[in-house]
Amino acid sequence: MTVETKPAVDLDRANEVVQRFQAESTKWLYGLDDAARILSWALFTLLPYTDKLSQAKALRQPHVMFKGPTGTGKTDLVSACAMAIDAKFERIQGLPTYMPEDILGYETIIEEVDGARKIHFKPGKLMAHIVLIDEDNRLSGKTKAAVLEGMEESSATLASDYGNLAEGKMLPLFPLSGDFNDITGPRFFMVICTENIFGEEEGTFANPVAQLDRTTLSINMMDPEDETDELNISARNVVGKKVEKLTNLYEVLDIANYIFDNVTMSDYAQQYKTRLIRNTRPHRVQGRAARTVKEYIRVGISPRVHFHLEAVARTFAFFNGDRIITPDHIKAVAEPVLAHRLVLKEGMEFSVVKEELLQKVIQDMEIPPWK
């Protein structure tokens, strides 16, 4: 994303937007406060990447995965969040029959009245600011590869049936201007996938490690923990309710850029983050965590996650009134950023919960010598 940072951001306004967003997005969605809080981290977080279209360093949005049984409000929460920030929102129902062009769009040739021929682009549902892919583990490998390209590079490569006329054309995801040829203006593109953990297995495909590694945050959504919240779930209280527009994407990007430029990582937090990530790898783990890691984990977390963990910790620190990231900030965001990336040994998937395993690794980490 190529958004220029404005010199000043009203910090009071920024805090107001964040607090009101978390309240407004769950006004009619009872029991989803924790999920909305974590999702708000993603909306105001930026990750550095190299933009293929402009061939320059840029910033992009992180991507999110919701995991939980059907009917827990995953789709409603994402839709409410999009309305609150005035984002173009599209929903894709994961189907194994979908082909890449079904979600990316395609170019066709239209013949004008005067006989002239021109290319017309019919956009697919991936051309939006926030894209919800319900049951994404039902998408075929070829279609998922197109989604992964968009997630990693904030661009989409189109195929064509017209030879060299449009083959391989790349489009930015997704310009705030709405112009598909705008490669220098501000962009906002976030993919949010859902996976029903108790759904039918027929017609599903295991999510590739490459996708999990590119998914910044994973949010577990179950039924409401508090009975009072569930008592409020009724047709009168929920159906047809609207979410108030609180801001727009330009302001969201201004705040996100300010956070990226002004919240820094302390040396101690950098060392703690490095030790924590390395301690998830069986061949690198040190100290008391070694027994747990070697017993359950087949593949630990890759170095790629440093960017993701630092970015989310930066936003979390800002939301808590801090301008320097500390180990406490790293610990606070570690579970939704790291747990889903762990690859367990065969047969361990149903005997251990990844989130609990990660917390055990954190607890067993010895006090670093640099403290």
Instruction: Give pLDDT tens digits for 288-320.
Output: 889 999 999 999 999 999 999 999 999 999 999
Taking the C-alpha atoms of residue 262 and residue 20, their distance in angstroms, rounded to an integer, is 22
Residue type, 15: N
In the chain, the number of structural domains is 2
H or E element that contains 9: none
Regarding beta strands 117-123 and 297-299, do their DSSP bridges make them parallel or antiparallel, or are they unpaired? unpaired
Residue 368 belongs to some domain of the structure: no
Taking the C-alpha atoms of residue 191 and residue 179, their distance in angstroms, rounded to an integer, is 20
Residue 6 belongs to some domain of the structure: no
What is the reported pLDDT for 199? 52
CATH of the domain at 252: 3.40.50.300
Instruction: Give pLDDT tens digits for 131-165.
Output: 999 988 888 888 888 899 999 889 988 775 544 44
Query: Using an 8 Å Cβ cutoff, are 261 and 5 in contact?
Result: yes
Taking the C-alpha atoms of residue 277 and residue 279, their distance in angstroms, rounded to an integer, is 5
**238 pLDDT band (50/70/90 cuts)?**
low
Percent of the residues in the chain that have a pLDDT greater than 70, as a whole number: 87
Instruction: Give pLDDT tens digits for 76-121.
Output: 889 889 999 999 999 999 888 888 888 988 777 887 778 788 777 7
Which residues does residue 156 pair with via DSSP β-bridges, in sequence order?
A: 171
Cis peptide before 174 (omega within 30 of 0): yes
Segments forming the whole domain that contains residue 297: 263-362
Structure pTM? 0.88
Q: Which of 218, 237, 256 is the last residue of a domain?
A: 256
What the block records as the tokens of 358 is 């990660």
User: 278 and 245 share a domain?
Assistant: no
Taking the C-alpha atoms of residue 342 and residue 361, their distance in angstroms, rounded to an integer, is 12
CATH of the domain at 348: 1.10.8.80
Percent of the residues in the chain that have a pLDDT greater than 90, as a whole number: 44
Instruction: Give pLDDT tens digits for 18-68.
Output: 888 877 777 777 778 888 889 999 999 999 998 888 888 899 999 999 988
Instruction: Give pLDDT tens digits for 158-184.
Output: 775 544 444 567 889 999 998 888 888
